[in-house]
Structure 1
Amino acid sequence: MKLLFPRPDGEALQAIVINSAGGITGGDVFALNANAEKNAMLSLTTQAAERAYRAQPGQVASVRNSVTVEPGGTLHWLPQETILYDGCALRRSLCVDLAHDASLLLVEPLVFGRAAMGEALHDANFRDRIEITRAGQPLFLDAMTLHGDVTKHLAAAHIAAGAGALATLIYVAPDAEARLARLRAALPDSAGASLIGPDLLVARILAHDSFDLRQSLVPILRDLSGDTLPRSWMT
């Protein structure tokens, strides 16, 4: 792994995470630790979509990300899609510790095989966890486990109705409540948003494929980020 720092377009320090291995497979271990200092603004993204490839039997990949945001700081956690391939085995976690007055914009897009290539996930193993604390106290926790025939599982109407892509969006800021109506107006029918705290806004978006997901996500992220979406998202 390595980081690139493009010329800044605004106040934030932008960092692009690059997986020089070109993907993730069983047995790989990746870890990223970052800190946004007092009153700083940090924007973390990826160069392109991450790919979780087929793993050998008994091997599981691990991705652990941990970020701390100090008082008055702002974090934009904006990775591009993670694409799950058939046979993948991946454990992933993201831990964000916010100071009492820190702000956060977070998105995690996930793609269940490449629809354009006719891919399906009939044997996959994926476990994901997002944990956000504020001043050391739990603020948000979301966990997902997908195992076995994921495509069949997601086809159920009460689960995902055949969706091939999903995104989790979290916004923590004093103006979260004021953003709710505008966000809901921008969402497709296969999405929803809730204010689960006075300054905590959460949305989940389901889409047919990664293209449709981006069609929804890009305008929303531009708006919530103050039109500072990293350039790598636009290529």
Structure 2
Amino acid sequence: MNAALFPLSAEQSPPFSASSSRAERAAGEGRISLKLGAEGATKLDRLYQQGCAKIRLPKVYGSNALEAVLINSSGGLTGGDRLSWDIKAASGTHGVATTQACEKIYKSDEGPAELSTAITVADGARFDWLPQESILFDRARLSRRMTVNLTGSARFLALEAVLLGRLAMGEKVHDIGFSDRWIIRRNNRLIHADALSFQGDVIAFGKSPSTLSGHQAFASLCYCGPEDSDQLECKLAEARALAAAFTDCHIGLSAMPGKIILRMTAPDGLQLRAALIPLITLFRSGAPLPRVWTT
């Protein structure tokens, strides 16, 4: 049939007009809350998942902690995608959240992907935020924000690690837009604020010793706890002793009232992870990492 015989009216438009079509964007929201069950074990209280955000709770043997594996079923993030997580840990609970795999951030032509996390940890509870590495590809754009509210003697451990491309695949990352903001409060008082931003040619500005020293991987870690200054200094000394074994990595550690901060850069993801694992284990008092980290 000749389409010219049936012209479109003024009110109609072609169903697949190149000028009007927009790529579909991923959106997801996941919420989880923890409660204290019988015999001191942490149990699921509520779970909500929508869109590409999925949460799985694998069986954990030999531990009273609840482990949540966060999944982005879209397979990665690009410009215009939005993903958010909300976690609440009730008094006395112990939980850990990780990701099923490394989060991939692909090149963007429509602004940044947005990733937000809100965590609330009640008095006497502990929560560890341990996602696997995020991989930024060339021309990736990511805006990430984490907001944490602690009460009383709550303990909290946070890690975020980033790989600039995949070295084994010969990938080079030149142009990125990356913003990462952390806000942590205890009893409504600000105890930690962190803002990290990389914009432009990361190979050029990443050569400086004040940025990445030419390395392709970096990480930030923060432990917040009720320990006094002497206890934190002892933990800091242990961490520095562990870090000294990884001579190819650049690792900085410092202790301040109520917290310990770690910054690290590494030549590649393998060396970054090798250095991170014993340090994370130390700050988790010897508890092993989530199984997805080693499978």
Cα distance per residue 1:178-226 (max 9 Å; x no partner): 21111001113411100021x3111111100110001101111122212
Partner of 1:53: 106
Q: Give SS of 2:233's match.
A: helix
Matching residue's letter, 1:149 = D
Aligned to 1:12: 65
Please report how far the alpha carbon of residue 74 of structure 1 lies from its aligned counterpart in structure 2 after TM superposition: 0.3
Residue in structure 2 matched with residue 128 of structure 1 by the alignment: 180
> What TM-score, normalized by structure 2, do the two folds share?
0.77
1:33 to 71, 74, 86: 86
Across the two proteins, how many residue pairs are aligned to each other? 233
Aligned partner letter, 2:103: E
SS at 1:155 equivalent: coil
> Residues of 1 paired with 2:209 and 2:86: CA distance?
38
Looking at structure 1, the residues matched to 117 and 290 of structure 2 have their Cα atoms a distance apart, in angstroms, of 19
What amino acid does structure 1 have at the position aligned with 2:252?
A: G
Q: Match for residue 233 of structure 1?
A: 293
Contact persistence 2:239–2:282 (CA under 8 A) = no
* Residue number among 65, 68, 82 corresponding to 2:117 in the alignment: 65
1:23 Cα deviation from its structure 2 partner: 0.5
Question: After superposition, where does 1:154-233 map in structure 2 within 5 Å?
Answer: 154-173=206-225, 174=227, 175-187=231-243, 188-189=246-247, 190-197=250-257, 199-225=258-284, 226-233=286-293
Q: Which amino acid aligns with 2:87?
A: A
Q: Which amino acid aligns with 1:28?
A: D
- Alignment of structure 1 residues 89-108 onto 2, 5 Å: 89-108=141-160
1:147-168 deviation line (CA, Å, top 9, x unaligned): 1101211112332210111111
Letter in 2 for 1:206: T
Q: Distance in 2 between matches of 1:106 and 1:55?
A: 27
Residue 111 of structure 1 deviates from its aligned partner by 1.0
Please provide the CA RMSD for this pair. 1.2
SS at match of 2:221: strand
CA displacement at 1:117 relative to structure 2: 1.8
Question: Secondary structure in 1 aligned to 2:236?
Answer: helix
The Cα shift of 1:120 comes to: 2.0
Deviation track 1:100-153 (CA, whole Å, cap 9, x = no partner) reads 210011111111111122222211111110111111111111111111101211
**Which residue of 84, 87, 92 corresponds with 2:136?**
84
Task: Give the aligned residue type for 1:221.
Answer: I
Out of 152-161 and 30-39, give the one that drifted further. Answer: 152-161
**Aligned partner letter, 2:237:** A
Report the structure number with the largest CA radius of gyration.
2
Shift in Å at residue 227 of structure 1? 2.0
**Higher relative contact order, chain-length normalized (CA < 8 Å, sep 6+):** 1
Spell out structure 1 runs of 4+ moving beyond 6 A: none
Question: Which blocks of at least 5 consecutive residues in structure 1 are unaligned?
Answer: none
Give, as a single letter, the amino acid of the residue that structure 1 aligns with 2:287: D
Identical counterparts, % of pairs:
36
